[in-house]
Amino acid sequence: MRKGIKNWGPPLLLIAPTIIILGIFVYGLIAANIQVSTTNRHSLTPATEFVGIDNYIQLLTEDRFLHSLLNLAVFTVVFIAGTMIFGFIWAWMLDKGVNAEGIFRSVYLFPMAISFVASGVVWRWLLNSAEGDRASGLNRIFESMGLGALQNSWWNEPVWGMAAIAMPAIWQLSGYIMALFLAGFRGIPEELREAARMDGASEWKLYRYVVFPQLSPVALSALIIVSHMSLKVFDLIMSITKSIYQTEVPATYMWVTLTSNDYAKSATIATILLVLASVLIIPYLIYTNRSEKETR
């Protein structure tokens, strides 16, 4: 199909600025980041030597970093479970036919339009750790409903405190997952369902053998998007708790190291985050690329 520069020259010229800019600011900076992570640049003084993977070994054996990874894992599991459950239930209820569907949809989705910083303001209040007479926020609700036993110190709890931080994230993003699932439901050809019904399939079997298999690509997308967001969680934690040890995740730990000018360490944390993200994203990109080609 090669027809010479006259044919593919001009389009290449149109997208050249973007390619150059992204070449520098995405790929170039990633390379620079990896380079910094292999030096001993732990302060404002320039690096003096190449240390190979020493920074990585140090970090991966450091209790503080492992603690931040554990926090991230707890957060991620709760966040994924919460958004997938709410997102699916909402989409499922709306898909079955509801009056004023648009209103319900807009309400469930609206937290997505708000910044994590703004929602952090109100969630800090809701997740107030005071209990008993001094309780406000959610603890006050439990108190007044006679469910005092449910009161807890939320993000102040060790280990499971991260599950409390996941609550605002679930509140913000379940609507997004609902939208994805809803599009998935609406993408199932009506004839498929009709055919199954004609064959006398029960409602459960209809879901088990027709709807769920059709939804699995959507579920995969949703899963990847949510876990990817989870890896990067930063805003929410900074605005609810600031960067403290208890709620530390790699992204906030990186903030601490970079603001104290430990460039090598912050670059090392960042590379690990990038690797984690790539493990999710690259197979996904290949998969969508392939399935798009098939449908063309």
Partner 1 sequence: MTTTMEPAVTSGIEKKGSGEQPVVGTKSRFGRTTKYIFLILFVIVVMTPVYVLIVTSLKPPADVNPATSWGLPVRWPWEAAAPGGPTGLDNWSAAWTALAPSLGRTFLLAIPAALISSLLGSMNGFVLSRWRFPHADLVFTFILFGMFIPYQAIMTPLVQMKTTLGMPSNISTLLIVHIIYGLPICTLIFRNYYVGIPMELMEASRVDGAGMLRTYASIVLPLSLPGFVVTIIWQFTSAWNDFLFAMFLSDTSGGPVSLALNNLAQGAQLANYGSAMAGALIASLPTLLVYIILGKYFIGGLMSGSVKS
Interaction of residue 260 with partner 1, rule CB under 8 A: no
Binding to partner 1 (CB under 8 A) within 163-182 occurs at: 171, 175-176, 179-180, 182
CA distance 284 to 296: 18
- 213 three-class SS: helix
Closer by beta carbon to partner 1, 16 or else 159: 16
* Nearer CB in complex with partner 1: 119/247: 119
Selected from 135, 166, 169, 210, the binder of partner 1 by CB under 8 A is 135
- Window of 47-55, 67-75, 155-163, 280-288 that interacts with partner 1 by CB under 8 A: 280-288
Q: Give least dist CB 202 to partner 1, A.
A: 13
Tracing tokens 């600025």 back to the chain, one arrives at 17
Out of 36, 72, 84, 166, name the contact with partner 1 by CB under 8 A.
36
| Residue 198 makes contact with partner 1 by CB under 8 A | no
Q: Which stretch binds partner 1 (CB under 8 A): 69-77, 155-163, 208-216, 281-289?
A: 281-289
> Which residues 6+ apart lie within 8 Å of 266 measured at CB?
254, 257, 258
Q: In this complex, which beta carbon is closest to partner 1, that of residue 201 or of residue 225? A: 225
Binding to partner 1 (CB under 8 A): which residues in 58-117?
86, 90, 93, 96-99, 101, 104-117
Q: How far is the CB of 158 from partner 1 (least distance, A)?
A: 23
Q: In terms of CB distance, is 77 or 281 closer to partner 1?
A: 281
Binding part of the chain for partner 1, among 71-79, 145-153, 157-165, 274-282 by CB under 8 A, reads 274-282
Q: Is 42 in the site for partner 1 (CB under 8 A)?
A: no
> In this structure, what token pair is assigned to residue 76?
């991620």
Among 56, 201, 238, 246, binds partner 1 (CB under 8 A): 238
| String of DSSP letters for 21-62 | HHIIIIIIHHHHHHHHHTB---SSSPP--B-TTHHHHHHHT-
Nearest approach, Cβ of 41 to partner 1 (angstroms)? 9
Distance (Å, rounded) from C-alpha 134 to C-alpha 115? 29
Length of the chain: 296
Q: CA 132 to CA 271: how far, in whole Å?
A: 45
Vertex 81: Cα angle to 223 and 276 (nearest 5) = 45
Residues linked to residue 39 through DSSP beta bridges, in sequence order: 50
Task: Give the contact letters, 205-234, x = binds to partner 1 (CB under 8 A), - = no.
Answer: ------------x---xx--x--x--xx-x
C-alpha distance from residue 3 to each of 7, 9, 14, 15 (Å): 6, 10, 18, 19
In sequence order, the 6+-apart residues with CB closer than 8 A to the CB of 168 are 116, 119, 120, 123, 236, 240
43 in Cβ contact with 202 (< 8 Å): no
Query: Count residues contacting partner 1 (CB under 8 A)?
Result: 104
